[in-house]
């Protein structure tokens, strides 16, 4: 498989030299001369890696482009190597460091870039991405060959992916886009149109709180308030550690035990708000406390 690398830089000499270097090492290279064009190419071309110049038309253009990429669900996982000649000369309005949680920047290389160091970094981040890619690939390939040429194949494949993972991982959406030759944006349109498809990995434990009539009358609103308070999330959300997902349901079929919650497939009935700390704590290694 040939990896695709996008080089975003307004320095044509650097772009040409980098393109030559990468192509000589069997990478496919596409280029853009500014942040806006670069962002559009990220969306359109689905590159495996981005080399992004920090200072183009203005000194933080690269960082703004990285932020725009991070904010776009369809492309936020594409790794970025930031290239800068300005790291020492300017203070940026944010801390410029690699591997921040909120930015996909994996490394920062200073100009003039040592070709060997560049190739080493490219190889590291592509092999990491390649591993994830490989893990998802076999299943994606199987699904594609199963549904290829059949009407409505995208929906059928997305259903199988959703059933398998509990959501549609971004790297699978990338693979589908490439192999089915469907724009990534179209795939995300379909995913967001149908409520059934999810883009986020589900919580490890699903807490279903019944807000059907019997439970409602017996205190479900107070239970719901207490669970939200304990987990610090709203209905439909997942806790930051991914441990719990909270959802409201209409009836769990055991109204005689009202009010009722279900965690995964275990029912807890006749509950009072005070019972919840101990129940939720059973699913964690630490005691849950009231905030
Ligand atoms: S209304 Fe809650 S279990 Fe039926």
Please state the rounded mean pLDDT for residues 260-266.
93
Residue 12 has pLDDT above 50, yes or no: yes
Could you give phi then psi for residue 51, rounded to 5 degrees?
Answer: -100, 120
Residue that the structure tokens 């920047």 belong to: 105
Per the domain annotation, does 89 fall within a domain? yes
Whether residue 146 is found in the same domain as residue 116: no
pLDDT of 97: 52
Per the domain annotation, does 222 fall within a domain? yes
224 alpha carbon to ligand 1 midpoint, in Å?
A: 14
Whether residue 152 is found in the same domain as residue 233: no
Digit-coded pLDDT (tens) for 179-237: 888 888 899 999 989 888 988 888 899 999 999 999 999 999 999 999 999 999 999 89
Whether residue 17 is found in the same domain as residue 112: yes
Pocket of ligand 1 (CB under 6 A): 210, 212-215, 251-252, 254-255, 258, 260
pLDDT of 129: 66
Angle formed at CA 34 by CA 32 and CA 39, multiple of 5 degrees: 70
Say what the pTM is. 0.48
Closest atom of ligand 1 to CA, residue 213: 1
Gap between the Cα atoms of 33 and 1, Å rounded: 26
pLDDT band for position 143 (cuts 50, 70, 90)? confident
Domain limits at 56?
Answer: 4-124
pLDDT of 94: 45
Per the domain annotation, does 291 fall within a domain? no
Gap between the Cα atoms of 1 and 134, Å rounded: 10
Candidate from 219, 224, 247, 251 with most ligand 1 atoms within 8 A of CB, to mutate: 251
What are the structure tokens assigned to 246, written together? 């909270």
Whether residue 77 is found in the same domain as residue 167: no
Gap between the Cα atoms of 139 and 134, Å rounded: 9
Whether residue 14 is found in the same domain as residue 113: yes
280 alpha carbon to ligand 1 midpoint, in Å?
A: 20
CATH of the domain at 77: 3.40.50.2300
Domain final residue pick, 124, 159, 184: 124
Please state the rounded mean pLDDT for residues 86-114.
62
Cα dihedral 91, 96, 102, 105 sign: positive
Whether residue 71 is found in the same domain as residue 154: no
Gap between the Cα atoms of 238 and 258, Å rounded: 25
Per-chain mean pLDDT for the chain = 85
Residue pair 6/47 in contact (Cβ under 8 Å)? The answer is yes
Whether residue 56 is found in the same domain as residue 113: yes
Residue pair 103/70 in contact (Cβ under 8 Å)? The answer is yes
Per the domain annotation, does 289 fall within a domain? no
pLDDT band for position 131 (cuts 50, 70, 90)? low
Q: Based on the structure, what is the number of domains in the chain?
A: 3
pLDDT of 136: 63
Gap between the Cα atoms of 42 and 71, Å rounded: 13
Q: Is 51 helix (H, G, I), strand (E, B) or coil?
A: strand
260 alpha carbon to ligand 1 midpoint, in Å?
A: 7
Residue 85 has pLDDT above 90, yes or no: no
Domain final residue pick, 63, 94, 124: 124
Domain final residue pick, 124, 148, 180: 124
Whether residue 216 is found in the same domain as residue 268: yes
Digit-coded pLDDT (tens) for 231-259: 999 998 999 888 999 999 999 999 999 99
202 alpha carbon to ligand 1 midpoint, in Å?
A: 24
The segment with the largest mean pLDDT, out of 102-111, 191-200, 226-235, 280-289, is 226-235
Whether residue 80 is found in the same domain as residue 153: no
Gap between the Cα atoms of 260 and 270, Å rounded: 6
Whether residue 30 is found in the same domain as residue 111: yes
Nearest residue (CA) to ligand 1, atom 1:
212
Per the domain annotation, does 220 fall within a domain? yes
């Amino acid at each position: 498989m040939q990896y695709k690398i996008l080089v975003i830089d307004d320095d044509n000499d650097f772009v040409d030299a980098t393109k030559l270097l990468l192509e000589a090492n069997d990478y496919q290279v596409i280029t853009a001369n500014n942040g806006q064009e670069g962002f559009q190419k990220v969306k359109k071309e689905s590159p495996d890696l981005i080399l992004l110049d920090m200072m183009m038309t203005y000194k933080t253009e690269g960082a703004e482009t990285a932020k725009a990429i991070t904010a776009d669900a369809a492309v936020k996982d594409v790794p970025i190597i930031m290239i800068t000649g300005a790291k020492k000369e300017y203070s940026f309005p944010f801390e410029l460091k690699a591997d921040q949680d909120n930015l996909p920047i994996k490394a920062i290389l200073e100009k003039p870039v040592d070709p060997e160091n560049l190739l080493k970094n490219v190889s590291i981040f592509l092999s990491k991405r390649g591993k994830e890619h490989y893990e998802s690939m076999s299943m994606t390939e199987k699904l594609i060959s199963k549904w290829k040429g059949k009407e409505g194949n995208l929906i059928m494949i997305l259903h199988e992916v959703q059933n398998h993972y509990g959501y549609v991982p971004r790297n699978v959406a990338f693979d589908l886009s490439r192999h089915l030759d469907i724009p990534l944006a179209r795939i995300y349109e379909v995913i967001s149109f149908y409520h059934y498809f999810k883009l986020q990995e589900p919580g490890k434990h699903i807490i279903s709180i019944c807000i059907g009539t019997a439970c409602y009358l017996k205190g479900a609103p107070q239970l719901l308030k207490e669970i939200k308070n304990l987990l610090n999330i709203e209905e439909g959300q997942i806790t930051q550690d991914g441990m719990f997902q909270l959802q409201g349901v209409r009836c769990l079929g055991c109204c005689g035990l009202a009010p009722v919650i279900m965690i995964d497939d275990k029912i807890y009935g006749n509950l009072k708000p005070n019972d919840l700390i101990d129940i939720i704590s059973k699913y964690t290694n630490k005691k849950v406390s009231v905030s």
